[in-house]
């Protein structure tokens, strides 16, 4: 692929209006090799010879030697850096030495586990030893044989949590001989998912100890800012952390692509249409491309646009672009994965489900429709292409949002800023409470084991005992109904997923997690699936053990829907405070959030400003979390009033800008946080702007923002002031998630307020 020629072709295209805001070149890097200090088993050596592997990258050699020495290992290396060998070789060596040895390989997604099972076949899986995937897609008819026969089981944290640890007696022989636990892609274990997984791993260690095993842990990660801290929090164990990445890298060209401004100050052209246009241009040239999106809806919209654009091309071209995302049924995912692995698909539009280390063939280009949320994820997604020696192309297409437009102005942020720290809180009291119930169910919990679950474990058990979930005899025992793991979702703070079924036949076509159900499948919503549109006719809430249910009918509509949500935040307890400037303080503490989806709007494009909203009557959701709040003195609001600015609108606009720019100071998606502003908050008695973690108990986002609040305010001030719009737009102060439809909003007042907070006047 002639990248220079391709870029020049893009610049000469009739629809080019200066979209390329910046070009960055990442040079190729030569490999560095190192030898092993330990002799390999002849069978393992023969496999490597057959695969043509004659030497190891420096990080591979260090990791394999440390694993052979019996130490817990975490290896950090770039995408396509050969991290798989770091655990495959020690496991194969141990099995060839002692056939009774067992290993768990834990991956964050099913697709990644399926891919790694194929790679294990190169090392003798299926002939020299027995390996199998055990996840929610595994047929019941296969499960008993896997428990009895498999030496290596590939699974995910969810399956460990809900199906294996609660029924560990059925896995007794496996646990008794468990030698290795592999945690791959550990950089993905952040936020709520990471905090839950940390407690699942503690339960796994406890069950293994019950059977007399103390497995060795091998962790693999993309580049992050705190690998040692993360793996210690995930497992509670010490590690040798290896960061000497010796893998080669291909030359990579980055394009920062900003959709052009529309006339009359109506924002920018749709990033969805821009993304589909770029994808089709690459597909027509036969360039295998993956297009990553932030949301399922966006993925489906891009595919719909791409199919229309390719309609005049050959039929095969149209069939060569598909979407891939969570919510699809297992058989659909397997078909798409096979076409992708076989090279039959030229273009795939995916959520982060395909971000991880899946070998999806010789991709040459990656499109990212919207900043992925963290620097680590950006590099991980870009690394899906160029896994060989050929040049690769990475295109970041900006959304009309604060963080994306900030990156268009400051592309150096991606290349000069160190990777963020992955934030998890394994001692989040709500998460710990759920896993203490699970642990008590799995085996009576001894007081000496409480340290596994943190300093609050005993107090939490006392509360659970009062609620009649557990009781204390010689140990703590579960006395509730059913089994607790079935009620705990690792991926969100909510319960069981909702089924999506067809109105005519009752056939289930997909599912959606409970946390997203009210926003995605409320009555009147447009639900998109495999490029087709469906209207939600009815939404039924869960009843007893029955899951929630959304009934849909296939309809070809030319619009999509966005849910509107409102929130109310109460301050419960202040933990910290500090001066932020004259008459202004910042605070951190516990808050209570009450949220409700109140209605929805219809849009034909992201730039379409709907005039009407449609009301919904859905239940409220209340939870305790942590947050920060800025308490403003009267002098600031008086200045705004004297200048003719709206106080409510100025606070509201700055709140939106701070939420949008939060990923510059904390690794998060803007959907993981919330905000509220008030000209006189009842719990504070002054004007406030509040930012909070969008999950019960919090996972460290608000705390990180509190520590770097001055930087966040400065970034928000710059973004608002630099935006060319007159009265505020999604690129600076508007939010697509705002329940009041971005009213009131005073951009100029927000600039005044941000100026004062970011650079307060100094005495003298």
Residues 47-69: tens digit of each pLDDT: 999 999 999 999 999 999 999 99
Please report the pLDDT score of residue 263 as a whole number.
Answer: 77
Residue 472 φ/ψ, nearest 5 degrees? -110, 120
Q: Measured between alpha carbons, how far is residue 191 from residues 83, 273, 462, 673, 697 in Å?
A: 24, 31, 26, 11, 11
Q: Which runs of consecutive H residues, i.e. helices, occur in 223-357?
A: 227-235, 271-284, 296-309, 315-319, 330-341
Q: What percent of the chain has pLDDT over 90?
A: 71
Is residue 423 included in any domain, yes or no? no
Contacts of 188 (CB under 8 A, 6+ apart): 108, 194, 356
In whole angstroms, give the CA distance from residue 649 to residue 638.
14
Q: Are 713 and 691 in contact (CB under 8 A)?
A: no
Q: Average pLDDT for residues 3-25, to the nearest whole number?
A: 94
Cα dist. 308→280, 325, 365, 754 in Å?
Answer: 10, 20, 21, 44
Element (H, E) at 699: none
Question: What's the average model confidence in pLDDT over 462-467?
Answer: 97
DSSP calls for 46-68: HHHHHHT--SEEHHHHHHHHHHH
State the CB neighbour count (10 A cutoff) for residue 646.
Answer: 18
Strands 560-581 and 688-693, by their bridges, are unpaired
Q: Is residue 282 part of a domain?
A: yes
CA 609: distance to chain centroid? 29
**Cα angle: 66, vertex 185, 57; to 5 degrees:** 45
**Rounded distance, CA 205 to CA 679, Å?**
50
* Mean pLDDT in residue range 704-729: 94
Q: Are residues 731 and 620 in the same domain?
A: yes
C-alpha closest to that of 639 among 500, 518, 760, 492: 760
Same domain, 317 and 207: no
Q: How far apart are CA 103 and CA 179, in angstroms?
A: 6
pTM value > 0.85: yes
- Same structural domain for residues 273 and 153? no
Predicted pLDDT at 265: 61
Looking at residue 764, its pLDDT comes to 41
Query: Are 117 and 238 found together in one domain?
Result: yes
What is the secondary structure of 134-166 as a DSSP string? -STTS-HHHHHHHHHH-SEEEE-HHHIIIIIST
Q: Kind and range of the H or E element at 84? A: helix 84-97
- Count of positions (residues) in the chain: 764
Residue 760 reports pLDDT greater than 60: no
Distance CA 132, CA 155 (A): 9
* 430: its two tokens: 């709500």
Q: Are 690 and 718 in contact (CB under 8 A)?
A: no
**Do residues 238 and 254 both lie within one domain?**
no
Task: Give me the mean pLDDT over the 25-43 stretch.
Answer: 93
Element housing 442 (H / E): helix 429-442
Do 398 and 466 belong to one domain? Answer: no
- Domain-embedded: residue 421: no
**8 A C-beta contact, residue 412 and residue 441:** no
Q: Which residue has the higher pLDDT, 336 or 195?
A: 195
Residue finishing a domain among 557, 573, 607: 557
Instruction: Quickly list H helices, 606-684.
Output: 634-642, 647-661
Tell me the residue range of the domain where 656 lies. 565-757
Q: How far apart are the first and last CA of the chain?
A: 62
d(CA 386, CA 392) in angstroms, rounded, equals 5
**CB atoms inside a 10 Å sphere around CB 449:** 18
Phi, psi of 308 (to 5 degrees): -65, -40
For residue 536, how many other CB atoms are within 10 A of its CB? Answer: 20
Q: Are 388 and 250 in contact (CB under 8 A)?
A: yes
At 359 the pLDDT is: 59
* Per-residue pLDDT at 361 exceeds 80: no
Specify the pLDDT at position 763.
45
> Is the same domain home to 330 and 376?
yes
> Would you call 198 helix, strand, or coil by DSSP?
helix
The partner residues of 471 in beta bridges, in order of sequence, read 477
601 contacts 613 by C-beta, under 8 angstroms: yes
Contact between 83 and 359 (Cβ < 8 Å): no
Residue 87 lies in a domain: yes
- Note the pLDDT of residue 514: 84
Structure token pair of residue 308 = 């229309």
Q: Is the pLDDT of residue 473 over 70?
A: yes
What percent of the chain lies above the pLDDT cut of 70?
95
Contact 346, 290 (CB under 8 A): no
What does R_g of the chain's alpha carbons equal in angstroms? Answer: 26
Q: Mind listing the pLDDT tens digit for each residue in 84-93? A: 999 999 999 9
pLDDT-derived band of residue 330, with 50, 70 and 90 as boundaries? Answer: confident
pLDDT tens by residue, 550-562: 999 999 998 889 8
Query: Does residue 762 form part of some domain?
Result: no
Q: Which of 55, 62, 123 has its CA nearest to residue 89?
A: 123
Helix axes 647-661, 402-409, angle to 10 degrees: 70
Can you tell me whether residue 443 is helix, strand or coil?
Answer: coil
Distance CA 388, CA 363 (A): 9
Please state the rounded mean pLDDT for residues 400-426.
Answer: 91
Three state DSSP letters for 322-386: EEECCCECHHHHHHHHHHHHCCCCCEEEECHHHCCCCCCCCCCEEEEECCCCCHHHHHHHHCCCC
> Which tens digits make up the pLDDT trace of 365-379?
999 999 998 888 899
CATH number of the domain within which 258 lies? 3.40.50.300
Same domain, 343 and 326: yes
Residue 279 and residue 348: Cα distance in Å, rounded?
9
Helices 747-758 and 709-722: crossing angle in degrees, nearest 10, is 140
Domain final position from 362, 394, 416: 416
- Count how many domains the chain has: 5
Shared domain check, 286 and 259: yes
Phi and psi (nearest 5°) for 144? -65, -40
Q: Indicate if the pLDDT at residue 759 is higher than 90.
A: no
* Interval 727-755: pLDDT, tens: 999 999 999 878 788 999 999 999 999 99
Domain boundary among 197, 223, 242: 242
The answer to the question of residue 37 being in a domain is yes
Preceding amide of 744 cis, omega within 30 = yes
Q: Alpha helices of 99-226 — where are they, by DSSP H?
A: 110-121, 140-149, 157-159, 172-176, 191-210
Tell me if residue 533 falls in helix, strand or coil.
strand
State the pLDDT at residue 673. Answer: 93
d(CA 256, CA 23): 6
User: What are the E-state strand segments in 505-548?
Assistant: 508-512, 526-529, 532-540
| Residues 272, 350 within the same domain | yes
203 within some domain? yes
Instruction: Say if residue 173's pLDDT is above 50.
Output: yes
Say yes or no: 721 and 746 in one domain: yes
pLDDT given at position 692? 97
Written as six digits, the tokens of 429 are: 């009291």
What pLDDT is stored for residue 739 in this prediction? Answer: 78
Q: ∠ CA(724), CA(728), CA(731), 5° rounding?
A: 70
pLDDT at 137: 87
Same domain, 73 and 180: yes
pLDDT of the residue at 761: 47
Instruction: Name the 3-class secondary structure at 520.
Output: helix
Q: Over the stretch 481-510, which tens digit does the pLDDT of each residue have?
A: 889 998 888 876 556 789 999 999 999 998
Kindly report which listed range (102-106, 119-123, 274-278) carries the lowest average pLDDT score. 119-123
Q: Are 670 and 662 in contact (CB under 8 A)?
A: yes
Structural tokens at position 534: 């469906």
CB neighbour list of residue 398: distance below 8 Å, 6 or more residues apart: 21, 256, 257, 258, 259, 268, 271, 370, 371, 404, 405, 407, 408
Between CA 4 and CA 6 the distance in angstroms is: 5
What is the mean pLDDT of the segment spanning 595-612?
A: 80
Residue 540 φ then ψ, to 5°: -110, 130
Q: Given the DSSP bridges, would you call strands 365-369 and 289-293 parallel, antiparallel or unpaired?
A: parallel
Burial level of 542, CB count in 10 A (0-12/13-18/19+)?
Answer: middle
- Per-residue pLDDT at 209 exceeds 80: yes
Kindly state the helix (H) or strand (E) to which residue 123 belongs, with its residue range.
none
Q: Is residue 763 part of a domain?
A: no
Q: Which residue has the higher pLDDT, 660 or 357?
A: 660
Helix, strand, coil shares of the chain, percent, nearest 5, are 40, 25, 35
Measured CA to CA, the distance from residue 276 to residue 271 in angstroms comes to 8
**C-alpha to C-alpha distance for 742 and 601, rounded to whole angstroms:** 13
Mean pLDDT of the chain, nearest integer: 91
The average pLDDT across 598-625 equals 85
């Amino acid at each position: 692929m002639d990248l220079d020629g391709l870029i020049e072709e893009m610049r000469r295209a009739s629809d080019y209006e200066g979209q390329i805001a910046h070009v960055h070149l990442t040079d190729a890097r030569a490999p560095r090799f190192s030898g092993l200090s330990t002799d390999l088993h002849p069978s393992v050596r023969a496999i490597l010879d057959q695969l043509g592997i004659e030497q190891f990258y420096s990080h591979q050699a260090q990791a394999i030697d440390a694993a052979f020495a019996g130490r817990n290992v975490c290896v950090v290396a770039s995408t396509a850096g050969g991290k798989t060998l770091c655990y495959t070789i020690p496991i194969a060596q141990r099995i060839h030495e002692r056939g009774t040895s067992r290993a768990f390989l834990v991956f964050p997604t099913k697709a990644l586990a399926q891919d790694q099972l194929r790679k294990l076949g190169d090392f003798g899986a299926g002939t020299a030893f027995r390996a199998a995937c055990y996840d929610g897609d595994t047929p019941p008819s296969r499960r008993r044989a896997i428990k009895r026969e498999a030496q290596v089981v590939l699974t995910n944290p969810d399956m460990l949590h809900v199906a294996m640890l609660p029924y560990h007696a059925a896995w007794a022989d496996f646990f008794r001989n468990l030698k290795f636990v592999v945690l791959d892609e550990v950089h993905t274990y952040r936020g709520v998912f990471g905090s839950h997984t940390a407690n699942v791993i503690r339960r796994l260690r406890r069950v293994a100890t019950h059977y007399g095993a103390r497995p060795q842990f091998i962790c693999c990660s993309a580049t992050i800012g705190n690998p040692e801290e993360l793996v210690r929090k995930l497992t509670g164990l010490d590690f040798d952390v290896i960061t000497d990445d010796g893998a080669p890298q291909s030359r990579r060209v980055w394009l920062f692509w900003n959709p052009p401004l529309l006339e009359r100050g109506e924002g920018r052209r749709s990033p969805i249409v821009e993304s589909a246009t770029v994808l089709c241009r690459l597909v027509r040239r036969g360039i295998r491309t993956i297009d990553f999106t932030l949301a399922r809806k966006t993925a489906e919209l891009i595919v719909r646009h791409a199919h229309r654009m390719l309609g005049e091309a050959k039929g095969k071209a149209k069939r060569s672009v598909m979407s891939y995302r969570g919510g699809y049924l297992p058989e659909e995912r397997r078909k798409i994965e096979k076409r992708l692995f076989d090279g039959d698909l030229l273009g795939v539009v995916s959520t982060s489900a395909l971000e991880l280390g899946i070998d999806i063939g010789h991709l040459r280009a990656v499109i990212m429709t919207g900043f992925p949320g963290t620097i680590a994820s950006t590099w991980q997604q870009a690394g899906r292409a160029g896994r060989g020696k050929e040049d690769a192309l990475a295109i970041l297409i900006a959304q009309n949002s604060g963080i994306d437009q900030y990156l268009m102005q400051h592309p150096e942020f991606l290349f000069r800023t160190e990777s963020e720290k992955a934030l998890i809180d394994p001692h989040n009291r709500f998460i710990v409470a759920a896993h203490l119930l699970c642990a008590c169910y799995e085996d009576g919990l001894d007081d000496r084991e409480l340290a596994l679950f943190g300093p609050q474990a005993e107090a939490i058990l006392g509360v659970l005992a009062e609620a009649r979930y557990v009781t204390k005899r010689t140990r703590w025992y579960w006395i509730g109904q059913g089994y607790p793991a079935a009620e705990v979702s690792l991926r969100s703070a909510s319960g069981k997923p909702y089924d999506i079924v067809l109105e005519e036949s009752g056939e289930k076509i997909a599912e959606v997690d409970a946390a997203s159900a009210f926003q995605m499948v409320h009555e009147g919503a447009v639900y998109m699936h495999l490029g087709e549109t469906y209207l939600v006719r009815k939404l039924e809430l869960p009843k007893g053990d029955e899951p929630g249910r959304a009934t849909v009918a296939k309809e070809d509509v030319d619009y999509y829907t966005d849910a509107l949500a409102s929130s109310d935040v109460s301050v419960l307890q202040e933990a910290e405070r500090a001066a932020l400037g004259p008459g202004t303080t910042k605070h951190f503490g516990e808050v209570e959030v009450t949220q409700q989806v109140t209605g929805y709007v219809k849009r034909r494009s992201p730039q379409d400003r709907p005039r009407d909203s449609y009301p919904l009557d859905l239940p409220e959701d209340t939870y305790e979390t942590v947050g920060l709040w800025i308490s403003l003195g009267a002098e600031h609001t008086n200045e705004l009033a004297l200048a003719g600015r709206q106080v409510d609108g100025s606070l509201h606009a700055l709140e939106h800008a701070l939420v949008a720019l939060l990923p510059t100071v904390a690794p998060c998606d803007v959907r993981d946080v919330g905000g509220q502003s008030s000209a006189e908050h009842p719990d504070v008695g002054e004007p406030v702007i509040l930012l909070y973690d969008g999950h019960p108990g919090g996972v460290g986002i608000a705390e990180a923002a509190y520590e770097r609040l001055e930087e966040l305010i400065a970034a928000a001030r710059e973004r608002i002031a630099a935006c060319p719009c007159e009265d505020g737009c999604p690129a600076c102060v508007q939010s697509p998630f705002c329940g009041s439809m971005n009213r009131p909003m005073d951009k100029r007042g927000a600039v005044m307020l941000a100026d004062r907070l970011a650079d307060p006047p100094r005495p003298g």
